[in-house]
Structure 1
Amino acid sequence: MPLQARRTPTIRHYVMTPPTFFAVEYAINPWMDPAVPVDTHRALDQWDTLRRIYKELGHTVELEEPVAGLPDMVYAANGGVLVNGRAVVARFAYSQRAAESDAYAEWMVRHGYTAVRTDHVNEGQGDLLVAGRVLLAGHGFRTDVRAHAEIAAAVGMPVVSLRLVDPRFYHLDTALAVLDDQTVAYHPPAFDTPSRDRLRTLFPDAIEVAAADAQVLALNAVSDGYHVVLPAAATGFAAQLRAAGFDPVGVELSELLKGGGSVKCCTLEVHP
């Protein structure tokens, strides 16, 4: 049986927020430069293309209303983590994004969740990625490592802590993508040595992504187990995915990249 035939897509449930008020008004990561103009209409078109791709792949997409004055709310992944029927809402490191927590907590409550809050900073699925029966948890720039134990207790899952060391990859979802329950892709230089060792032990078949692709946020990708939606510029990573039996689906999100985010940042996944 060819390798590709063993890859199986599953229907996913995503939450997205339109970039109605998207702008780069401040700089809280290396990608942001308020001096660079942002075309909001183009950002909306690019975002809507991503939404339509998810729908065409058969996934459920729910929309959260954007809030004026919260230009980064389009990066829905940072709103929290939802898994095992439990929800943890984000506690942001920067005051500019703090009010997003309340907006996403309201979504969780409307959908029947109790929105648990942590004492320490956590930036949702930016740093908390479900991989099978474990939660991969980033720290080093945003999420406080002390929040990992809080989150493990809240969602009832073991947490694997991974330290990020390159400020360009300030969230875990900029340096690592979960492709299926047993497979990840990551950019090794984004992590310290113990974390790289941990990843190689846990995921011996991991795809190691080169700098040229990592620097266009190739790893800020979303997978349903077969289709992998990723930045269109990440052609090297796309070739690696094809060779591993996945189906890469490129999308252009150049305007949203100006805020330091791409496919995964725009996508909050509701895990079963």
Structure 2
Amino acid sequence: MSKIRGLLSQKVVKANQIIASDPLESPRIKMQDMYNVHTTSNNVEAVQGASIVVLGVKPQVLGMVSSVLKSQIHPTALVLSIVAGASVSFLQKALNHARIVRAIPNLPAQVGMGTTVWMAIPEVTDEERIKVKAILQSLGEEIAVQSENYINMATGLSGAGPGFVFLFIEAMIDAGVKIGFSRVEAQKLTLQTIAGSVELMHQSSEHPAVLRNKVTSPGGATSAGIYELEKRGMRTAICDAVYAAFQRTQELAELNQLPELE
């Protein structure tokens, strides 16, 4: 639903141009009430006459959904898949459809601050690429890549990244409580510190090491804290976490290939 909100708020499409499909009645009612879009529980009905089909289902139900949609999407329509781990070749076989764009948005897309890495196969026209770009920009930043391997890499970095950031935020808040702040105060201080630091880096365009050195006085409080983080391997732990997420994405991609489609 957050993606519908982004599309409408950025005026990429109008409400009467959207047909949303969901098997559950309560989400359909909510989408109708919030966005005044047409909804259905029938996936085939949802794709009839569509020029762009956004495929956004859980990987574990992709086999069932694709079996229903196979050969049902008009050949000239574009399929924009945001299904984690589902390769272009798999989608082409599963849907019996050639025109595929694969994209991986991350969680902050819910508030229009996401990062989406995407790729289009050669069959996708320049006009369609412009439309895809507009759709993804309604969710935040977008980066077009040429190789599908970058999609898995992005899943490990920007896809899993919010989870790492939230863990860091949680630890900072807990530390604030430990030294005497209320949890509300600690959360406010932590969130503003992180948001301000990110905005400063955006505006200054300086390397993070340069900005870190500016706040790290010799023998000071920041220096003492950074020493502890480095001593305990924070930098290595983050690198290992991203790489582990990347490797797991590759494993899941292999698991998501249905044998009967090979």
TM-score higher than 0.5: no
Larger radius of gyration: 2
Give TM-score, length-normalised by structure 1: 0.27
Greater share of residues in helix: 2
